[in-house]
Structure 1
Amino acid sequence: MVIIAKKLTLTEYLTYDDDTDNLYELEDGYLSIMSPESNQNNLIALYLLSEFLKIVPFRLVCHKDTEIVTAGNRVRLPDLMIITEELLTALYGKRATITPEMPAPALVIEVVSPGKVNEDRDYRYKRSEYAARGILEYWIVDPQSEKVTLLTLVDGLYEEKIFQGDKSIVSHTFPEFNLIAGDIFPP
């Protein structure tokens, strides 16, 4: 959903303030308002956050509060990110925006909202944007199909593995992560 007709530069976006609490992503120079997540999606993101806190220091976990600039004048606001110490240092004392000159996060997780537009955004567009940005792992958590698509960056492209039901999620970036795919999805 585009909310203003004027195309913005990245600099204009980074200084944009409409005196609301709205969250936006920038898509090809246009602001898109981020609708509130469903309770189910929030529970999934919080559950994953709690699981990652068992293996990753708190300061390296970003939950819906840090945005990332990707290719094509786009700014994304992932549901969950695990960043590196190097990236934490680059962000320190600045707006929580990962800019192109900063290192990439180690992991980005998106929880898919219902509808074709949302599915296309998470499965198609973000997939290519995150690969181009050099993000080592991208997880697409899909409550509608109760599956986790784990994408690992190999030679600039993502290789895909799907985890469902009683399969343990296997991460190359976080080999100590231990979770059954089906446990992610609340009843």
Structure 2
Amino acid sequence: MTQALPKTKLVTFEEFVQWKPDGGRYELHDGVIVEMTQPLGDHEEITGFLATKIPIEYDRLKLPYFIPKTALVKPPENESGYSPDVLIINRSNLVNEPLWKKESTVTQSASIPLVIEVVSTNWRTDYYTKRGVYEEVGILEYWIVDYLALAGKSFIGNSKEPTISIYSLVEGEYQVRQFRGSDRIISPTFPELNLTAEQIFQAGNTTT
């Protein structure tokens, strides 16, 4: 769940970065500072599981990727800044990022091969807002891990099962494939990644 902080005026991204405290997790949504509530335990386990498994794959492929702790994604020409649950960064493009050194912020699709959001009660933000923003930035791959099947039926179907939606950028627009149960995840970025949807939902408690 997110909670907008009371402000007398909208703030710029620069003001947000200067204000943002070290503790807590905050995002900026069109000039409005939003405090992200503490995730549930299962949410944290799934996030940690993915942040452990995916680096094994990019290390194996010898790719210059890493997962930062608190970096932000800023869309172009927009007073917003988002803090994904898992953000894969391409280190080789950081030299072209104007906000990286001083603000730990990436703005270019070449810096972001993959971004993952694990759904909390604010599922509309992940499916509506962030999907549109990440598409606008040009991020090639975006996962929504809806382990509690919170989204509306128009997004995950009438059966309302836990679902992983993987959005891939094709000719500037996202196309989606969905994975449930024993389905093996198909990632355009990591095509040899050997994980099923259920393994992710169980946060690694099943045999991998």
Shorter-normalised TM-score: what interval? 0.7 to 0.9
- Other-structure match for 1:33: 35
Match of 1:124 among 125, 128, 131: 128
Aligned length: 182
Provide the rounded CA distance (Å) in 2 between the counterparts of 1:39 and 1:17.
25
Provide the rounded CA distance (Å) in 2 between the counterparts of 1:95 and 1:180.
36
Confirm or deny: 8 A CA contact 2:181 2:197 kept in the other structure: yes
Alignment of 1:1-187 (within 5 A): 1-5=3-7, 6-17=9-20, 21-57=23-59, 60-62=65-67, 64-71=69-76, 72-90=78-96, 93-98=101-106, 100=107, 103-114=110-121, 118-145=122-149, 146-186=162-202
Confirm or deny: 8 A CA contact 1:64 1:79 kept in the other structure: no
Provide the rounded CA distance (Å) in 2 between the counterparts of 1:32 and 1:50.
28
Confirm or deny: 8 A CA contact 2:108 2:137 kept in the other structure: no
Unmatched runs of 5 consecutive residues or more in structure 1 = none
> CA shift at 1:101, angstroms?
5.6
Percent identity among equivalent residues?
32
The alignment's C-alpha RMSD in Å is 2.1
> CA shift at 1:63, angstroms?
5.1
TM-score of the two chains, using structure 2 as the length reference: 0.79
Give CA deviations for 1:130-149 in whole Å, capped at 9, x if unaligned: 00001000000011122110
Unmatched runs of 5 consecutive residues or more in structure 2 = 150-161
Provide the rounded CA distance (Å) in 1 between the counterparts of 2:136 and 2:177.
19
